[in-house]
Chains A and B, each alone.
Chain A
Amino acid sequence: MNDTIWARNPQGDLKMFIGGGLILGIVLFFGVMQTPIQARRPLVWLVTFLSGGFMVAYTYWPKPINFDAKTELPKNGVETVGSFLQQSFGVVSSFVQIIAAFLLGLGIFSLLRIHLMNIARQKKDWVFSVILLVSMLSMIIFGYWDFMIRQGEKAVDFDDPQFWRMPNMVRDFLFDGLLQQMDAAMFSIIAFFILSAAYRAFRARSVEATILLGTALLVILSLMGVVAGAWDDKVAALAGDGKTGSADFIMNFKITEVAGWLKNTFQTPAITGIKFGIGLGTISMALRIWLGLEKGGKA
């Protein structure tokens, strides 16, 4: 048996783990609060370095293949480290997800603080703050109420609206009736801006702009089934059914072929190049943060 502490099932000793986690959290919280301000930045950098170091080690350290930590022992030091990293990864990922989930709590706290202050001081447009808080609380209350009902009455098929009760209906109205509709409405407004911009800005002012305009029009036309079908049929008719070289050449002028050529020959390499550049930039930024070279990373 070669389980690391991470490989233990926390649900087996749930109370102990919750209690232990709580005590450790409180100790860490007060520990950090008591740390002198000058020491906080190096502390943050140390945590960043260790976290980043784990991910680097996990990515590059050789790991044993088909290794079962429950029944096998590592053969050497390399396997021991590899096995430890392998077993620890899931837990480290959970850490990251839990920390990310805490950001949600921080966001709610921040929203409450700002908008309650707005309401208390009756600042300009404080009514909107009331609407925001009421909307947020309604969604939380009815969301959980709906969830509790669904969990509590397992025999009922809540997919069928005829079995819904008031909280289920209100949840559906808030989520599907309001939030989803408003989301869609906001997004669809973009269509108006795109059309207006196409009219006012998409103009053949220079050679480059004309090339861009021409290629864009070809790709747009290739997306229109009616146009693409008619164009391609016309080209096929022109080419005839002969298997000559000229027929093959003419078939290259099908709009779907032209659009495909544009996508595969120009668009894909351009995007690959951009992504490659972004990747290099990300690596350099990550290295700067990891090594504490970025301003604010280390005192």
Chain B
Amino acid sequence: MKKGGIPKFVIYALLIACCSIPLFFKIPIPNKPSDPSVDFYKTLSALKEGDVVLLGSDWTGSTRGESKGHMKAILRTLMRKNVKFVIWSSADPQSPRAALDVIAEVNAERVANKEEKFQRWTQWVSAGFYPNADVAINAVAQDVRTAFGSRRENDTNGVQQQIFKSPVMQKIKSVTDFDLVIDVTASKTTDFHVQFISAKNVPLMFAVTGVMVPETQVFYNSNQIKGFIGGLKGVFDMEQMMEKGINVKDANGKIAVASDKISGEIAPLPGVSVGQGTKYYPTLHVALLLMIIMIGIGNYEMISARKRQKGNG
């Protein structure tokens, strides 16, 4: 088939222009969070002070547009609720560093906001990276004390100790002792988590990239996971729910973020909640709109060409 009329460089230039321009303006966008996002936030909100979360970080710079936003939103929520967490990775050797950098960023944000820094060892620990995701996740599901047993961290006195001596891990004897397992991922670790960890009846949730949403929806529909946030929309959903709560009326009696998944309301989470989701969501809008326009033009050209051929024939 003959190639379309618009040259590639024009399409590319249009994309660059359309994606860059919204970054310079603050554009408020109405939003209705998706059901899986609401369930995700509802489960996070139900955590109590002192609960312990196993937080998988299985993403790298390539998907940071989505995954970093997920990670930040989750960390902000956990830290504000004083929920302890254990970070670990099994998908990519870069992942632990990426996660540690985000924790440092959120901590810096807390310090700037006159909140207390979330302390390593007493409030969170890192169990590091484990090669071979399926075996690693299975090992954690079967016997977390053996799987993480050899990992060490500096305690508050600077002495290296096994992470199980940390206050974070005090009550952890098996994976079922975690109050929640979350995996921020851009890879197949979702399948292994469902296969091995969900089978132990531990509450499980995912933060996945946009392209992974359809397959993650399967686990959500079958109730194997409590909820999930997907892609940039997921980041925006989280930031909106943290900032404005769910079903909370403002001074004019209007509800900013409404959901019929919640019978009552969930109050906003005080502190800095808005971030890259709110910043990039207008860009996503424009990019999707541009895609629809390009599909329309392409189809119009095809129909015109067919009509011309018929006319000539």
User: Which A residues contact B (CB, under 8 angstroms)?
Assistant: 11, 86, 89-91, 93-94, 96-97, 100-101, 103-104, 151, 154-155, 159-160, 175-176, 179-184, 186-188, 191-192, 194-196, 198-205, 213, 217, 220-221, 223-226, 228-229, 232, 256, 260, 263-264, 267-268, 271-272, 275
Contact = CB atoms under 8 A, between A and B. Distances in A.
A168 to B, nearest CB: 12
Contacts of A188: 65
Interface centre among B61, B107, B298 (most CB of A within 10 A): B61
Nearest to B159: A154
Contact of A204 (B135, B150, B294, B299): B299
B297 interface: yes
Interface stretch (B39-47, B48-56, B283-291): B283-291
Nearest to B103: A159
Contacts of B132: 96-97, 100
A191 B287 contact: yes
Interface stretch (B141-149, B200-208, B265-273): B141-149
B250 interface: no
B136 interface: yes
B158 interface: yes
Interface string B218-235: 100100000000000100
Interface in B225-283: 233, 236, 281
A225 B6 contact: no
Given A101-B131, A186-B62, A187-B63, A225 B281 contact: yes
The secondary-structure label for the interface of chain B is helix
Majority secondary structure of chain A interface residues (helix, strand, loop or mixed): helix
Contact of A268 (B62, B64, B142, B218): B218
A90 B142 contact: yes
A221 B199 CA distance: 36
Nearest to B147: A90
Contact of A194 (B6, B93, B104, B291): B291
27 contacts: A89-B142, A93-B138, A93-B139, A97-B130, A97-B135, A100-B132, A100-B135, A103-B131, A180-B60, A183-B64, A183-B94, A184-B61, A184-B62, A186-B62, A191-B287, A192-B11, A195-B290, A195-B294, A196-B12, A199-B6, A199-B295, A200-B4, A203-B299, A226-B29, A229-B32, A263-B214, A267-B217
